[in-house]
């Protein structure tokens, strides 16, 4: 089935030649076509250009996009949307003055979510998680990475990963799965962190590889969680099972996580709120994508990732939500774009590049999504009538979305199963 979008006010992120990602000054270049057409067939982008060259043939469906902008769907390369229950009690504790670390130190935080998840059946976890997945799809996300890490036992980690696999099977959005067993040290291993790491390496990883439950491996490389030496052990073991690293680093302290990521060929290093000059330098001339999570900085009132320093050093940058119950209970990429512009001084062009093609790269999907390129999936956002694409970040908290398409199909929702 072929669909023609005609009279598109502006078609964003058109890339004739496929690219993997954009970096440095190139991030400020967002190629567009004004007064454009776009043809999609069987879920794939097959043609686009200026209205003057609009094909004169019959299409099964014609959509008049007068006044509206079309762009590729957001690519959210870092989320934890499979979880059980919320942590709004901790939110109140933080309002009253406790820090994220204070809460974790008294047994709250990730351990709190792990307890809830361990007590939740796989089916209930699926039902709860699919609501979040549908919610973010409606907000324009067209490809997503989801992590485990709230199980912290063999059974519960497998349960999470199986839920991710089931979501991937039942929804048309592309989902990449990441094993984050090293998210926190469970209380029963409080005095035996190495024992827990050995459990992850010797018991969990072989099972995950056997059931093909994950594409990537993650570690919360942070003071009080997993050290650089712990991270190396886990990444080394992941490598044996074909799990590529995508790691949490430099969120609260800079302890060398960026360097370990680079050393192990990480696809991405994420968070980066605390960046020393040497951390920025060590990312130069590598294939590791730095990923910023501004909604997390907003919610926890911690520093924002120094996007200007990173981009001005010539590096690429991707933006993602970090949607999770503790540090970022929001999966709204539109808010992420706005916050990146407002708080991190990224231009709208940089933010849109960071949230589309660079986000796609940060989860290994740059060949399928992230730009308007012939042969890529027709995962699209059709905006409301807006004056210019600057309105997308400008109207923070107020998504300018009229319709969304995944693999060419308009999504309404519509439950996946
Ligand atoms: O990316 N920092 C580690 N993990 C999550 C938060 C986990 C939680 O608090 O539940 C994050 O911010
Ligand atoms: Fe995270």
Q: What percent of the chain has pLDDT over 70?
A: 99
Q: Distance, CA 58 to ligand 2 centroid (Å)?
A: 47
Query: What's the CATH architecture for 75-361?
Result: Alpha-Beta Barrel (3.20)
Going by CA atoms, what residue is nearest to atom 9 of ligand 1? Answer: 326
Q: Is the CB of 283 under 6 A from ligand 1?
A: no
pLDDT band, residue 41 (cuts 50/70/90): very high
Listed residue (294, 262, 298, 301) closest to 278, CA to CA: 262
Cα-to-centroid distance, 157 and ligand 2 (Å): 16
At 224, is the secondary structure helix, strand, or coil? coil
Average pLDDT over residues 231-259: 98
Range(s) within the chain of domains with CATH label 2.30.40.10:
2-73+371-410
Give tens-digit pLDDT for 170-203: 999 999 999 999 999 999 999 999 999 999 999 9
| Confidence (pLDDT) at 413 | 73
Label residue 414 by pLDDT band (50, 70, 90).
low
The CB of 325 under 6 Å from ligand 1? The reply is yes
- Give the nearest ligand 1 atom to 251 CA: 2
257 CB near ligand 1 (under 6 Å): no
> What is the residue-averaged pLDDT of the chain?
97
The 3-class SS string of 270-286 reads EECCCCCHHHHHHHCCC
Residue 21 has pLDDT above 50, yes or no: yes
Upper half-sphere CA count for residue 234 (Cβ side, 13 Å):
32
The residue whose C-alpha atom lies closest to atom 11 belonging to ligand 1 is: 327
Task: Give the pairing type, strands 174-182 and 216-221.
Answer: parallel
Task: Locate CATH 3.20.20.140 in the chain.
Answer: 75-361
The reported pLDDT for the residue numbered 417 is 43
Q: What is the best residue among 115, 327, 328, 330 to mutate for testing ligand 1's pocket, by most ligand atoms within 8 Å of CB?
A: 327
Nearest bound ligand to the CA of residue 82? 1
As a whole number, mean pLDDT of residues 211-238 equals: 98
> Are the C-beta atoms of 257 and 250 separated by less than 8 Å?
yes
Residue 104 has pLDDT above 50, yes or no: yes
Q: Which residues of 266-304 are buried (b: 16+ CB within 10 A; e: fewer)?
A: bbbbbbbbbbeeebbebbeebebbbbbbbbbbbbbebeb
> Which residue's alpha carbon is at the smallest distance from atom 10 of ligand 1?
326
Residue 149 beta carbon below 6 angstroms from any ligand 1 atom: no
Q: Which atom of ligand 1 is nearest to the CA of 222?
A: 2
Ligand 2 centroid vs 79 CA: distance in angstroms?
6
**Residue nearest ligand 1's atom 3 by CA:** 220
321 C-beta closer than 6 A to ligand 1? no
| Chain segment 108-152, per-residue pLDDT in tens | 999 999 999 999 999 999 999 999 999 999 999 999 999 999 999
Q: What is the pLDDT of residues 357-397, one digit of tens each?
A: 999 999 999 999 999 999 999 999 999 999 999 999 999 99
Which atom in ligand 1 lies closest to the alpha carbon of residue 326?
Answer: 9
Stretch 69-74: mean pLDDT, rounded?
A: 98
Q: 131: burial class by Cβ within 10 Å (0-12, 13-18, 19+)?
A: exposed
Place of tokens 């204070």: 102
266 lines ligand 1 (CB under 6 A): no
pLDDT at position 159, please? 98
> Has domain 2-73+371-410 been given CATH number 2.30.40.10?
yes
CA dihedral (271, 305, 15, 348) positive or negative: positive
């Amino acid at each position: 089935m072929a669909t023609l979008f005609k009279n598109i006010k502006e078609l964003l992120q058109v890339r004739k030649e496929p690219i993997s990602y954009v970096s440095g000054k190139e991030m400020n270049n967002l190629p567009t076509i004004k007064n454009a057409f776009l043809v999609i067939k069987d879920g794939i982008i097959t043609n686009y250009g200026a209205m003057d060259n609009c094909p004169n043939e019959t299409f099964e469906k014609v959509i008049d996009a007068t006044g509206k902008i079309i762009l590729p769907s957001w690519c959210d390369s870092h989320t934890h949307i499979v979880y059980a229950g919320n942590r709004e009690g901790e939110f109140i504790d933080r309002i009253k003055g406790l820090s994220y670390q204070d809460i974790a130190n008294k047994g709250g935080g990730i351990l709190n979510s792990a307890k809830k998840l361990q007590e939740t059946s796989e089916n209930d976890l699926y039902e709860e998680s699919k609501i979040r997945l549908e919610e973010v799809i409606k907000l324009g996300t067209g490809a997503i990475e989801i992590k485990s890490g709230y199980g912290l036992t063999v059974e519960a980690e497998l349960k999470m990963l199986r839920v991710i696999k089931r979501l991937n099977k039942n929804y048309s959005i592309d989902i990449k799965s990441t094993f984050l067993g090293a998210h926190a040290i469970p209380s029963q291993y409080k005095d035996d962190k190495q024992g827990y790491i050995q459990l992850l390496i010797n018991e969990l990883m072989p099972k995950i590889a056997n059931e093909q439950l994950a594409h990537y491996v993650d570690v919360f490389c942070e003071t009080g969680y997993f050290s650089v030496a712990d991270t190396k052990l886990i990444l080394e073991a992941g490598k044996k099972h074909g799990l590529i690293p995508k790691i949490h680093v430099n969120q609260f302290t800079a302890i060398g996580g960026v360097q370990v990521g680079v050393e192990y060929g990480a696809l991405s290093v994420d968070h980066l709120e605390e960046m020393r000059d040497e951390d920025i330098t060590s990312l130069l001339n590598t294939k590791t994508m730095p990923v910023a999570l501004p909604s997390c900085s907003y919610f926890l009132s911690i520093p924002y990732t120094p996007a200007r320093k990173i981009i001005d050093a010539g590096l690429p940058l991707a933006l993602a939500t970090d949607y999770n119950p503790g540090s970022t209970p929001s999966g709204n990429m539109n808010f992420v774009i706005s916050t990146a512009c407002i708080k991190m001084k990224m231009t709208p062009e940089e933010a849109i590049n960071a949230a589309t093609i660079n986000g796609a790269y940060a989860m290994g999907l740059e060949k399928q999504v992230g730009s308007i390129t012939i042969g890529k999936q027709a995962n699209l956002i059709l905006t409301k009538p807006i004056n210019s694409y600057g309105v997308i970040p400008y109207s923070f908290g107020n998504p300018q979305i009229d319709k969304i398409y995944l693999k060419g199909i308009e999504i309404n929702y519509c439950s996946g199963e």
